[in-house]
């Protein structure tokens, strides 16, 4: 059986969409003849929000876990001064100092043994000194893992593969920071000279990578965990009140205010109907609560908030929902849609042509669509799988809510008959990765 060392900073128990990709590789690779050894950091979910990313691990030494899937090396993690200031004093204090410290590590980690991720390199190197593997896979970001993999590849003569979950130097926020963009471009081009294979999540991201890399790129889509989804999808929908669930990040280009406006108007026009809107692990809960309080106070009794939770628990919660809310990501697919598809719950997609949403997109959307082959990836997938309703704008939303409410209050549920979504199983993605790893080993 081949062995592959996987460097993955985000990894359970940390609650992160990015961590699900390497976790499902770990979970299923062995079934396809590849034994995974994951190198990650120690994670503790004390806060249930973004502060978990900078909170200390639970041990000062490397922790090794072995189970039926493979091996996990959990390296120690101690917050640096910037992280400690954030944890102790919050977001508003010492911003400049924290920015300077973080900036130093962002630059220095590529040529000095410093930074919050260096312990992963030490753990990986220590493992390779005593164990043989056939390939190394680094999934980014953080992209300093590519640097570590490149060093290990040279020292131990092992081919390494770069997995991009997002663009690196072509990331739009980076374009606004000229010095960091130039530095990142240099590092990306340097490291990709020695990579054996490049993998990414979509053709859209592949087009960005091709700015700095001219070889073939393998597309390894995201997906859903078939075991967890099967269990969660079997949970009966709740039948008390029409319930809409939303999980994960709300971006500033998401038309949440337009959505609230329609929902508020609909409830006032349809006093005989009620609704429940549940937000799970949203990144800006305080801002959403303030928006509801100041502009849509009558909505407050209908809106609920839940902290971040492990993916298994989240899916069980979503399984009780009647409808799953999805906002338009335009040129990229995101990962949320795959779990929604697998659960076979009606997707409420907002919006395809809403003027307020388009204004927000123009102002805040930080994705360069100039090389995008398709601006409506999610909408096309929903149409092909017949998995939801494409809502045109906030006026159309009220019509859709009326139709859904009539169905729910007459039957006690919302029907969904999605089709052809099994192809997005992460187990199939693990099989694809095993084949890519085998090809890369042969190139050696």
pLDDT band at residue 86 under the 50/70/90 scheme: confident
Structural tokens at position 91: 């977001």
pLDDT band at residue 371 under the 50/70/90 scheme: low
Count of positions (residues) in the chain: 444
pLDDT in tens, 173-189: 655 677 888 888 899 99
Rg (CA), the chain: 23
pLDDT band at residue 370 under the 50/70/90 scheme: low
Other CB atoms within 10 A of residue 346 CB? 22
Q: Is 266's pLDDT higher than 60?
A: yes
Q: What is the C-alpha separation between 340 and 336, in angstroms, rounded?
A: 6
With helix as H, strand as E and coil as C, how does the chain read?
CEEEEEEECCCCCCCCHHHHHHHHHHHHHHHHCEEEEEEEECCCCCCCCHHHHHCCCCCCCCEEEECCCCEEEEECCCCCHHHHHHHHHCCCCCHHHHHHHHHHHHHHCCCCCCCCCHHHHHHHHHHHHHCCCCEEEEEECCCHHHHHHHHHHHHHCCCEEEEECCCCCCCHHHHCCHHHHHHHHHHHHHHHCCCCEEEECCHHHHHHHCCCCCCCEEECCCCECHHHHHHHHCCCCCCCCCEEEEECCCCCCCCHHHHHHHHHHHHHHCCCCCCEEEEECCCCHHHHHHHHHHHCHHHHHHEEEECCCCHHHHHHHHHCCCEEEEECCCCCCCCHHHHHHHHCCEEEEECCCCHHHHHHHHHHCCCCCCCCCCCCHHHHHHHHHCCEEEECCHHHHHHHHHHHHHHHHHHCCCCCCCCCCHHHEHHHHHHHHHHHHHHHHHHC
Q: Is 104's pLDDT higher than 90?
A: no
Task: Give the pairing of strands 63-66 and 71-75.
Answer: antiparallel
pLDDT in tens, 288-329: 999 999 999 999 999 999 988 888 899 999 999 999 999 998
Q: Give pLDDT, residue 382.
A: 95
Q: What are phi and psi of 15, to 5 degrees?
A: -85, 100
For the domain 2-79+116-223+426-443, what is the CATH code?
A: 3.40.50.2000
Q: Is 108's pLDDT higher than 60?
A: yes
Structural tokens at position 321: 């929902």
Structural tokens at position 32: 């396809």
Q: Give pLDDT, residue 93.
A: 85
- Cα–Cα distances in Å, from 137 out to 7, 317, 374? 6, 33, 29
> Residue ranges per domain, the chain?
2-79+116-223+426-443, 226-424
Contact call for residues 247 and 346 (beta carbons, < 8 A): no
Please determine whether the domains at 2-79+116-223+426-443 and 226-424 fall in the same fold group of CATH: yes
Percent of the chain with pLDDT over 70: 96
Q: What is the CATH T-level fold of the domain 226-424, as seen in this structure? A: Rossmann fold (3.40.50)
Torsion of CA 148, 149, 153, 156, to 10 degrees: 60
Contact call for residues 283 and 249 (beta carbons, < 8 A): yes
Q: Give pLDDT, residue 372.
A: 64
pLDDT in tens, 44-71: 877 777 788 888 888 889 999 999 999 9
pLDDT band at residue 23 under the 50/70/90 scheme: very high
246 closest CA partner among 293, 284, 297: 284
pLDDT band at residue 230 under the 50/70/90 scheme: confident
242-262: average pLDDT: 93
Q: What is the C-alpha separation between 23 and 41, in angstroms, rounded?
A: 13
Q: Is 330's pLDDT higher than 70?
A: yes
């Amino acid at each position: 059986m081949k062995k592959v060392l996987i460097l993955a900073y985000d990894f359970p128990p940390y609650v992160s969409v990015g961590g699900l990709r390497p976790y499902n590789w770990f979970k299923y690779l062995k079934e396809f003849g590849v034994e995974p050894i994951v190198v990650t950091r120690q994670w503790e979910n004390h806060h249930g929000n973004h502060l978990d990313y900078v909170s200390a691990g639970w041990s000062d030494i490397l922790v090794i876990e072995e189970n039926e899937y493979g091996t996990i090396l959990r390296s120690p993690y101690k917050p640096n001064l910037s992280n400690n200031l954030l944890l102790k004093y919050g977001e508003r204090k010492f911003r400049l100092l924290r920015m300077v410290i973080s900036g130093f590590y962002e630059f220095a980690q590529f040529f000095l043994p410093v930074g919050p991720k260096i312990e992963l390199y030490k753990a990986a190197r220590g493992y390779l000194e005593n164990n043989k593997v056939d390939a190394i896979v680094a999934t980014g970001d953080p992209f300093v893992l590519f640097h570590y993999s490149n060093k290990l590849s040279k020292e131990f003569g092992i081919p390494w593969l770069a997995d991009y979950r997002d663009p690196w130097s072509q990331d739009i926020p980076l374009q606004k920071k000229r010095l960091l963009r130039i530095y990142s471009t240099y590092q990306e081009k340097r490291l990709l000279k020695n990579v054996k294979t490049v993998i990414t999540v979509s053709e859209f991201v592949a087009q960005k990578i091709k700015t700095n890399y001219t070889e073939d790129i393998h597309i390894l889509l995201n997906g859903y965990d078939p075991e967890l989804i099967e269990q969660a999808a079997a949970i009966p929908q709740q039948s008390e009140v029409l319930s809409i669930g939303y999980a994960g990040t709300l971006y500033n280009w998401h038309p949440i205010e337009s959505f609230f406006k329609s929902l508020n108007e609909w409830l006032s026009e349809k006093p005989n109907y009620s609704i429940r809107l549940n937000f799970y692990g949203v990144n800006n809960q305080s801002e959403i609560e303030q928006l509801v309080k100041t502009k849509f106070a009558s909505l407050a009794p209908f809106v609920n908030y839940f902290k971040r939770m492990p993916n298994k628990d989240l899916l069980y919660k979503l399984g009780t929902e009647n409808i799953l809310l999805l906002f338009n990501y335009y040129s990229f697919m995101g990962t949320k849609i795959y779990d929604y598809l697998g659960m076979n719950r009606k997707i409420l997609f907002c919006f395809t042509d809403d003027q307020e949403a388009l204004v927000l997109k123009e102002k805040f959307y930080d994705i360069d669509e100039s090389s995008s082959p398709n601006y409506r990836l999610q909408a096309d997938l929903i149409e092909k799988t017949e998995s939801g309703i494409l809502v045109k704008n906030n006026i159309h939303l009220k019509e859709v809510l009326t139709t859904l409410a009539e169905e729910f209050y007459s039957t006690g549920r919302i029907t969904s008959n999605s089709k052809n979504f099994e192809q997005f199983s992460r187990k199939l993605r693990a099989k694809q990765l095993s084949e890519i790893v085998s090809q890369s080993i042969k190139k050696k």
